[in-house]
Amino acid sequence: MSEVIPLGAWVDHGVHYLLDHDAQTFDSIGKVIESFAALIEHGLQAVPMWALMAFFVGIGLWRVGWRFALFTLLAMLLIYGTGFWDQMVITLGLTLSATLISLLLGVPLGIWTAKSRTVEMMVRPVLDLMQTMPAFVYLIPAAMLFGLGRVPGILSTVIFAMPPAVRLTSLGIKHVNREIVEAGQAFGCTPLQLLYKVQFPNALPSIMTGVNQTIMMALSMVIIASMVGAGGLGNDVLASIQRLDIGLGFESGLSVVMLAIILDRITESFGRSPGTARAPLLSGLRSLMKVRKVRRAPTAQHS
């Protein structure tokens, strides 16, 4: 079939042109990202299993409640018991690396789009393209420019996962109450002070929702990135597809689900106020204190 507009050929020539003229630049970028990802991954692997488990259980107890803390403990014991703990740690490291890069780029860009109508008009169609393009497409140019391994997997994940951080940061800044902003201006806040002391704290629930969505999209894309050698649980999922191994696919997929639920509930809790987040724990402690008082009361009357 003849093409009226050979768009695919143009893109292909563009990628090859970059390879021919800027290979050293991409190698330098790849080394920086590789070092950053390796630092996070090796740091997580250096933490003992029981310490990492206790960390997540403790945060779950503090931010969500004792029921979720119990679920986190059982979920992590299940991952360890099925033999996917090491792969889960690698997947967690890849997800954190991609999420941090996405936030470092996405949050400032979201603030900029909230402040400038022109920037918003330019960025919005690009975000639409990034969100709607099939995820597998990002792996092709990433693998051509950076080879196989963690780097193309992380970069394709960043492209796929960054839009929610940009959109929800911009939405949160825009929807800060105008009266609060005017009060800050009346007290003599500079534009920078107004942003970080007034607008950003009030937009934090929306921004944290963006962080939550970025982590979830990064986790889903990291699994797909195993096709270019990113590693982690995605390797087991890919191997189960290639070998038609239902058991391996179920176990590795269940580990992904457990990790996703833990990360989702914890990051979601940070979008609420600390008092609200601690409410399940405080209510549990209060009910325990009431039970103790009720038990002590009959003893005092009897004496």
Which residues are CB-contacts of 180 (< 8 A; sequence separation ≥ 6)? 198, 202
Give the Cα separation of 23 and 203 in Å (integer). 41
Do 232 and 214 form a contact (C-beta atoms < 8 A)? no
Q: Which residue ranges form the domains of the chain, and what is each CATH number?
A: 23-272 (1.10.3720.10)
- What pTM did the predictor assign? 0.82
The pLDDT of residue 5 is 73
pLDDT tens-place string over residues 179-223: 888 888 888 878 888 888 888 888 888 888 889 999 998 988 888
Alpha-carbon gap, residue 126 to 121, rounded angstroms: 9
Q: What is the pLDDT of residue 252?
A: 87
For 130, counting Cβ atoms within 10 Å of its Cβ (0-12 exposed, 13-18 middle, 19+ buried), the class is: middle
Question: pLDDT tens for residues 2-29?
Answer: 567 777 777 778 777 777 777 777 788 8
What are the φ and ψ backbone dihedral angles of 147, each rounded to 5 degrees?
Answer: 75, -165
User: Closest Cα to residue 226, out of 82, 87, 84, 66?
Assistant: 87
pLDDT band at 275 (very low <50, low <70, confident <90, very high): very low
